[in-house]
Amino acid sequence: MSVYRNLSTQERSTSSGTSSEEVVTVVDSQIAPTEVEQAEESPAVEQKEIETPVLHTNFSSIHETNAVLLSVVDNLEKYVAQVIESIRENIQKNKIELELIKQQIIQDMQDFEARINSFLA
């Protein structure tokens, strides 16, 4: 049997005015048992049979999710390493190309200077 409390306000008229009081009424009545109460009343073996698959499913799901996330992180690490290596290679190629361009400009300036000197001579 379950007990519930009913909180209500009662007003009283007195010679000095109206006052109100909160009154708690405790009523014994039969209320439909909740799932928690049903689980508490059932034998422990039955309760274990109900909870174990749910917990197993949750842990299994968590482990599967963790495995997928670890796989994604591993793949991302590999991809980032490849991108970094590609960037390094491109930087090295650009340095070589810039050095070749610099040498070509120097050579062109020397040729131009030689032409001017031969023209002036």
Q: What is the chain's Cα-based Rg?
A: 43
pTM recorded for the entire structure? 0.44
- Taking the C-alpha atoms of residue 103 and residue 31, their distance in angstroms, rounded to an integer, is 95
Beta strands per DSSP E along 1-121 = 2-14, 17-29
Segment 83-112, tens digit of pLDDT: 999 999 999 999 999 999 999 999 999 999
In the chain, what are the domain boundaries?
A: 2-120
C-beta separation of 32 from 1 below 8 A = no
Mean pLDDT of 20-44: 53
SS3 (DSSP) at 1: coil
Residue 47 burial (CB < 10 Å; 0-12/13-18/19+)? middle
